[in-house]
Amino acid sequence: MSARFCTAEIHYPARPFRAILRAVRGTGPDTRRGAMNREEERKLAAELERLKQEHRDLDAAIEAMLHLPDYDRLRVQRLKKRKLQLKDQIIRIEDQLFPDIIA
């Protein structure tokens, strides 16, 4: 038995494939959605560093309070909650600055 191959013609569009993808995705050079300029990136990076520093400071404060013999549990709980909020903000900003690229 011999193998049969389909030899149907393939019609390529007039525009290059990458141009079509850009048009569909909205990621062309002029129409990029969500694109940031350098000033916005710089501001976000500065905000990210500030949030990370505050997160580290809270971590140190919580650790120091836990070593006290009669620490305020409610205050520690509030500091931990604030620390989690900061972590969420850090993740959001990191996602904006460094988006996941699915390959």
From residue 97, how far is each of 11, 75, 91 by CA, in Å? 39, 33, 10
pLDDT for position 32: 47
* Per-residue pLDDT, 53: 97
Query: Could you tell me the pLDDT band of residue 101, with boundaries at 50, 70 and 90?
Result: confident
Return d(Cα 71, Cα 86) in angstroms, integer: 23
Chain segment 6-40, per-residue pLDDT in tens: 454 555 545 555 555 565 555 545 444 456 789 99
pLDDT digits (tens, 9 = 90+) for 45-97: 999 999 999 999 999 999 999 999 999 999 999 999 999 999 999 999 999 99
Cβ-based neighbours of 20, under 8 Å, separated by 6 or more: 13
**Whether this model's pTM surpasses 0.85:** no
